[in-house]
Amino acid sequence: MSTTTAATHATGGAPVTQFRVIRSEWIKLWSLRSTTVTLGVAVALLIGVGLIASSVIGNGDGRGPGGDDGPQNPVDISLAGLNLAQLALATLGVLFMASEYSTGMIRSSLAAVPKRLPVLWAKAAVFAAVAFAVGLVASAIAFTGGQAILGDAGASWSDPGVARAVVGTAVVLAGFGVLGIALGALLRSTPAAISTIVGAMFLLPGIAGLVLPDSWGDNVTRVLPPNAAEAFTDVTRNDGTLSPWAGLAVFTAYIAATTIAAAWRLKRTDA
Amino acid sequence: MPTAGRCGAPPGPGIVVPVIEVHELTKRYGDKTAVDGLSFTVRPGVVTGFLGPNGAGKSTTMRMILGLDRPTSGTATVNGRRYAEHAAPLREAGALLDAKAVHTGRSAYHHLLAMAATTGVPRDRVDEVIHLVGLQDVARKRAGAFSLGMGQRLGIASALLADPRVLILDEPVNGLDPEGVLWIRNLMRDLASQGRTVFVSSHLMNEMAVTAEHLIVIGRGRLIADLPVSAFIEQAASNSVRVRSPRASELFQLISGADVSITNVEPGLFDVTGLTAEQIGDRAAAAGIPVHELTPQRPSLEQAFMELTRDSVEYHASTQNERAQAGAAQ
C-alpha cells in the first residue's frame, strides 16, 4: 500500500510500521507498575544472592553453598543468583504478553495492528533489550562485588571465560524473558505459562534425573533449557554439560521454537 | 475532515460510497453457527443501528469486520478493502468492542498513548480525545478502577483517536448514566453528520429508534431486516383497538364477525383486531351501548422488535417455563 493514502490530516497519523509498534510496546512496558517492581526484584536477586554466596564462600571452606554440586568457580559463585533472577524475568515476560489476554487489551492491540505479528516481534524486541541492559548492569555489579568479597580467591575481568559469563548472564536473562513472552502468547494464560516455565526450570531436570537411566540420562538432562543456558554462562565446564556455545545454540533453539509456535497461534486463531 | 473516497478516486457528487461491506459472512464455532451468510452494506452520513437479541451474532460480526475473528467464509471490507490490509487501520475505522479491552493496570492516558504510537498519532490528539470524552480528571488513574461508564468513555476515546472515517461501536450506551446516554447519542449523530459512517449495535430497540436512521436487524446470525427506522416504525403499527364498556358482552356480540378477533383483557375491557376504532364506536353508538374507552393500540417499538425477532431469539425465558411444565406433567 502506498504511503500517499495515509497522508497526514488534521490529527496526524501514519502507516503502522514495526518501529511504531516497538514504540507502542515500549510505552506499554513502562506504564505498568509490575515492570519496575519485577525488574527490581530480578536485579536484587542477581546481586544479592551473588554477594551472599561470595561472602559465605569467602569466609568458609572454599566450596560452593550447594556442597560439591554447587558452583566451584569464583565467577559462577558471584553469579549464583541467575537461577532466581531468570525466573523473575520469565515471569515478567509472561505477564507482559498473557495479561493482554486476561485483561482484554489484546483486542485493542490487534485492532491497532491487525497484521498481528509485529506486536509479538515488538514485545520480544523491547523486552529482550530491557532485560539485557538491566541484566548486564546487575551482572557486572554482582561479579565486581562478588570478586571484591572473595579477595585473593576472586577472578578478574581478564580471566578466560569471565566476559562470556557476565555478558552471558544478561543474555540468558533476556532469553528467559522472551521465552516467557512466547509462552504467554502460546498459552494465553498467565498461570499456565508461569507453571510451564517453573516446570521447565526446576522440575524437569530433577524428574529427568530420577526417571531416566544413567546411561542416557545425562544426554537428555544437559539439553534441558536451564542446563543449556547454564552451560553458556559457566566458566568451568562440568562433566556431562554442553560446551558454552552448544548450550547457547540449544537455548536459542528452545526460544525460537516456542516463538514460532506462538506466532503461528497469534496469526491463526481468533483474538 | 475525512470524507468517503480518500483511497482511490473521489466519488462524484451524490454517489454514496458503501464503507462497510459484509458479504456472505459466516462464522462457525464447532457445530454452532454464530453468523450465517450475513450480507449488508453500511453507508456514510447516517447512524446505522445493528440490532438483534443477545447472542444474535452482532459482536462476532463486528469482530470479523475488524479482523479480530477469522470468518469461516465470506468477506468483510472497510473502505474498500479488508481492515487488516490498510496501512493505518486505526485511521480507517475506530472501534469500541467492549469497555474491557484495556489493561487494568495501565492509566487511560498511557493506554491511549500506546495505541496512538502504533499509528503515529501525536500526543496532542491523545489529550484532545481525553477531553472530548470527559476523562481529563481520571486519565492518570488505573483503568482497572474505572466504572463501566468511564470504561465506555475510554473505549470511545480509543475509537476516535486516529479520527477515523468509520466508527464501529458495540453496545456503547451500556453502563452509561442518562447524561452519558444523551452525550453518546449526540456524539454519534454529530459524527454521522460529518459524513462518517457510524455503525452501532444494540439489543434495545427504543435506543436505536431515537439514535439511528437505518437499521440492520439480525437474529441467530441471519439478516432479518435492513430498512430505514421510519419504515420499521410504520411496519410496527397494528390495528388493535382497546375497548372499555359497562355492557361489554352486548358490544361483544354486536361487533363479532369472521374477520374480527376479540381478546378479553379484564371484565369490561377487551382488545379488538379487524375493526377500526371508528367502526366500533359507530356501531356502539347506533346500538346505544355506552363506551368508556376506545383506544387504537400501537405496540411499542420494543414489542415490534420482539415480534420480528421472536423466532430467532437465542435464549427464550419461556423455554424454561415450558420445560418446567413438561417436567410437572410427567
* pLDDT computed for residue A11 by the predictor: 57
Average pLDDT for A140-144: 96
Task: Please state, rounded to an integer, the average pLDDT across all residues of chain A.
Answer: 88
Is A99 part of the contact surface with chain B (CB cutoff 8 Å)? Answer: yes
Neighbours of A51 (CB within 10 A): 19
Subunit contact B125:A12, Cβ cutoff 8 A: yes
Closest residue on chain A to B158 (Cα): A108
Predicted confidence (pLDDT) per residue in B104-117, tens digit:
999 999 999 999 99
Count CA atoms closer than 13 A to B21's CA, side-chain side. 11
- Range of A228-237, A256-265, B229-238 with top mean pLDDT: A256-265
CB of A267 less than 8 A from some CB of B: no
Provide the pLDDT for residue A60. Answer: 58
Q: Do A112 and B91 touch (CB under 8 A)?
A: no
- CB-CB under 8 Å, B114 with A25: yes
Cell of B90: 486505526
Does A12 touch chain B if contact means CB atoms closer than 8 Å?
yes
Residues paired with residue B81 on neighbouring β-strands, in sequence order: B78
Whole-angstrom distance, CA of residue B154 vs CA of residue B114: 13
Which residue intervals of A158-203 are DSSP H helices?
Answer: 162-187, 190-198
Q: What is the largest CA-CA distance in chain A?
A: 72
> Contact, B164 vs B194, CB < 8 A?
no
Place of cell 417455563: B321
Question: Which residues, 6+ apart, have CB-to-CB distance to B303 below 8 Å?
Answer: B236
pLDDT at position A71: 56
Backbone angles phi, psi at B204, to 5 degrees: -110, 110
CB of A115 within 8 Å of a chain B CB? The answer is yes
Report the amino acid identity of residue B301: L
- Mean pLDDT confidence for A132-151: 95
**B89 chain-A contacts, CB cut-off 8 A:** 16, 111-114
Chain A within 8 Å of B63 (Cβ-Cβ)?
yes
B117/B5: higher pLDDT: B117
Q: Which residues contact A119 (CB under 8 A, 6 or more apart)?
A: A21, A25, A109, A110, A113, A266
The total of other beta-carbon atoms located within 10 Å of residue B289's CB is 16
Prediction ipTM score: 0.89
Q: How far is CA A184 from the centre of its chain?
A: 13
> Which one, of B82, B57, B86, lies nearest residue B67 by Cα?
B82
Using an 8 Å Cβ cutoff, are A186 and A265 in contact?
Answer: yes
Q: By the CB < 8 Å criterion, does B195 face chain A?
A: no
Interface residue B132 vs chain A (CB under 8 A)? no
- Looking at residues A130-140, what average pLDDT do you find? 98
Q: Are residues A70 and A238 in contact, defined by beta-carbon separation less than 8 angstroms?
A: no
pLDDT given for residue A238 in this prediction: 75
Cell of A140: 557486572
A151 at interface of B, judged by CB pairs closer than 8 A: no
Q: Do residues B191 and B198 make contact, with C-beta atoms less than 8 angstroms apart?
A: yes
Q: Residues A65-78: pLDDT tens digits?
A: 444 455 568 999 99
A42: its cell numbers = 530480578
Distance from CA of B202 to the nearest CA of A (A): 20
Q: Residue B236 — pLDDT band, cuts 50, 70, 90? A: low
* Interchain contact A24–B (C-beta under 8 A): yes
Give residue B316's pLDDT.
Answer: 54
- Section B277-305 average pLDDT: 84
Tell me how far CA of residue A168 lies from CA of A1, A133, B327, in angstroms. 42, 12, 70
CA-based nearest residue to A123, from A235, A263, A21: A21
Which chain A residues are closer than 8 Å to B91 by Cβ? Answer: 6, 9, 13
Given a cut of 70, is residue A222 above it in pLDDT?
yes
Res B239 pLDDT > 90: no
d(CA B98, CA B132): 19
Residues of B in contact with A106 (CB under 8 A): 101
Nearest to A270 among B68, B106, B125 (CB): B68
Is B111 in contact with A108 (Cβ distance < 8 A)? Answer: yes
Least confident of A116-120, B19-23, B149-153, B320-324: B320-324
The pLDDT of residue A194 is 95
Whole-number percent of chain B with pLDDT over 90: 56
Q: Which of B274, B96, B283 is nearest to B191 (CA)?
A: B96
* Among A13, A21, A31, beta carbon nearest to B88: A13
Any B CB within 8 A of A15 CB = yes
Cα B228 from chain centroid (whole Å)? 13
Whose cell is 524473558? That residue is A177
Tell whether A114 lies on the interface with B, counting CB pairs under 8 A. yes
What is the rounded CA–CA span in Å between residue A43 and residue A49? 10
What is the rounded average pLDDT of the residues B76-89? 95
Chain B stretch 64-123, residues whose beta carbon is closer than 8 A to a beta carbon of chain A: 66-70, 83-91, 95, 97-98, 100-107, 110-111, 113-115, 117-122
